[in-house]
Structure 1
Amino acid sequence: MEKRNVLITGATSGIGEATARLLSEKGFNLILCGRRKDRLEKLKAELSSKTEVITLSFDVRKNEEVLDALSGLTGKWRKIDVLINNAGNAHGLDPIQNGDVADWDAMIDINVKGLLYMSKQVSAWMIEGKSGHIINIGSIAGKEVYPNGNVYCASKFAVDALTRGMRMDLNPYGIKVTSINPGMVETEFSLIRFKGDADRASNVYKGLTPLKGEDIADIILYALSAPAHVVLADITVFPTAQASATIVNRSN
């Protein structure tokens, strides 16, 4: 069977990196995307012994960079079988009246616009072939609003709505659309949210065992391994210690 080509955004850390590692062992070719070129090249060097890997360094927030990067794909790489929209971020944890507009722009640009820019181009190619699978990495923040989460939650609610809309729009072409919505995952997420404050970031996971990027990678693989007539449409996953966006057992 011909290997499927998988494009992963935000492949330089966390869920994206863990997914690249797992899929490299499971018979997928990889297109790894991210802004940090040095990390992309290091990951490519590591995984190229297991599968075919190419890298694209660009900023998903900028549509012109998305178009330039994707237009550079040639030959078999223009057939993208799987798009994993993983790139995203959170900035700040402030009530709406104290929010930083730059933080708001950053979250909306990458979490919403970046997903749109990637999905528009890649879905058009998938439509031509009448097949494909798009996996959007959402969040419990797209299902429940929590205090001081305002704009981040709004951006992830948008991802949830867009995923549902994409599933309807792409249904006539046999394209699967999956949403995976994790709760607490220990990645660089909190470090970025708290502007590099490592102590504050580490407190987010204090007293519990959070999910890891590898846990979400396992779920992505499971979704990709389902029979052709099966789509895992909407998945929410928590660590055992978490019951909702705001209820967490920190007794460990």
Structure 2
Amino acid sequence: MSHSSVVFITGATSGFGRACAERFADAGWALVLTGRREERLASLKASLESRVPVHTATLDVRERDSVAEVVASLPEAFRAVKVLVNNAGLALGAGPAQEADLDDWQTVIDTNITGLVNVTRTLLPTLIEVGRGAAIINVSSTAALWPYPGSHVYGASKAFVNQFSYNLRCDLKGTGVRVTDVAPGMSETEFTLVRMKGDQSAHDKLYGGVEPIQPEDVAEQVFHAATLPAHLNINRLEIMPVCQSWGGLTVDRD
């Protein structure tokens, strides 16, 4: 594959984002990698640039002006972004809504919704110009459709991602740009460590005795959706580990 194929990945410093960078690099794509942790970006670039062209930019997707600046300043070889992987996102806290920190809620909303919207809107003209075969892959969650205690704003933010993806498809009809909502279930990444603010015991308890999704599993599905024949679109791809299923409805009894 020629280096004219460029993928732009947000939240590339860990988890799904890093695994996606590796997967697209394996296929010879040029990479635009963004994230908030500059040292991790530098390390990732060093590990990949012997294989493919890599451009990195330290970026907080919540900051609209910063997103615009990063996109406007892309080097010529990286301007024709063919695939956008909107991966940056997080959850904070796992307690009930009535105990949640409102600042945590705002951070989740600003990152999972505002950040995704900022990057998508800024890159839409480029993706439309590329046209047939271009793709937007939004990393959502099974929490978008399946509620659970403590999900509250996180699940709601991912429901936004789901509906935003569907509605983008309507607006992009005729442009050739595909849109896919990739929705993983229980996945072993830094997600729980971030959610529980560094509590390693919470991470270990969640993943103890189970075989969760790995970042490489999700990256493979993202790559698959992004590189389908140009006339095909996966609208939503929900992935769970075999060990995870639905728990049914609960009833509070006196």
Shorter-chain TM-score above 0.5:
yes
Q: Which residue of 2 aligns with 1:44?
A: 45
Larger mean Cα displacement after TM superposition, 140-149 or 84-93: 140-149
Give 1:147 deviation, angstroms.
Answer: 1.0
- Counterparts of 1:13-162 in structure 2, within 5 Å, are 13-131=14-132, 132-162=134-164
What is the CA distance between 1:118 and its match in structure 2?
A: 0.3
Contact 2:2 2:29 in 1 (8 A): no
Conserved? CA contact 2:35–2:57, under 8 Å: yes
Which amino acid counterpart does residue 14 of structure 2 have in structure 1? S
How big is the shift at 1:2? 3.3
Mapped partners of 2:93, 2:122: distance in 1: 31
Task: For 1:152, give the aligned amino acid.
Answer: Y
CA distances 1:232-252 after superposition (whole Å, capped 9, x unpaired) = 1110001110113x57xxxxx
Deviations 1:100-138, CA, capped at 9 Å, x for gaps: 001101100010000000000111212233342000000
Q: Secondary structure at the residue paired with 2:52?
A: coil
Q: Which amino acid aligns with 1:233?
A: N
Instruction: Please name the residue that 1:226 is paired with.
Output: 228
The CA deviation at 1:80 is 0.5
SS of the residue corresponding to residue 177 of structure 1 reads strand
Match of 2:189 in 1: 187
- What displacement does 1:28 show? 0.7
Specify the alignment match of 2:2 in structure 1. 2
Q: Partners in 1 of 2:186 and 2:123 — Cα distance? A: 29
Shift of 1:60: 0.2
Root-mean-square deviation (CA, aligned residues, Å) is 1.2
Structure 1 unaligned regions, length at least 5: 248-252
User: What letter is aligned with 1:75?
Assistant: E
For 2:127 and 2:202, locate their aligned partners in 1 and report how far apart those are by CA, in whole Å: 42
Q: Which residue of the partner structure matches residue 215 of structure 1?
A: 217
Identical-residue share of aligned pairs (%):
39
- Structure 2 residues not aligned, in runs of 5+: 249-254
Give 1:144's aligned amino acid. Answer: W
Contact 2:34 2:56 in 1 (8 A): yes
| Counterpart in the other structure of 1:250 | none
How far does the alpha carbon of each residue in 1:131-161 deviate from its partner, in whole angstroms, 9 at most, with x for none?
Answer: 4200000000111111121111110111111
